[in-house]
Amino acid sequence: MKKLFGFGLLAGLVAAVVKLVSTQKADWQGLTEGEVRDKLHIKLDSRIPSQKVDQIGDKVVEKMRQRGVLGEEALSEV
């Protein structure tokens, strides 16, 4: 009975982690480059220097571009 309860608890924990990760991916998918950089500045600016945030932003944008999940910027007609 204890093993069954432990297995159920472990399965519930794994399911919660999977749901959290998929929600985080969905929040970032389809963002434009500017939106990604803004979101990173909001999340990281208070913890690390701005120059480092810019470097991290470059890497994140490049990875998102490689995976094809970076949104397209809307072209404005003048």
Range 33-58 average pLDDT: 90
The residues near 64 (Cβ < 8 Å, ≥ 6 apart) are 28, 31, 36, 70
Confidence of residue 74 (pLDDT cuts 50, 70, 90): low
Q: Which one has a higher pLDDT value, 13 or 48?
A: 13
CB 28 within 8 A of CB 65: no
pLDDT tens digits for range 8-26:
999 999 999 999 999 998 8
Helix (H, G, I), strand (E, B) or coil at 45: coil
pTM higher than the cut 0.85: no
How many residues in the chain? 78
> Can you tell me which residue has the tokens 């970076």?
70
User: Side chain identity at 66, as an amino acid letter?
Assistant: Q
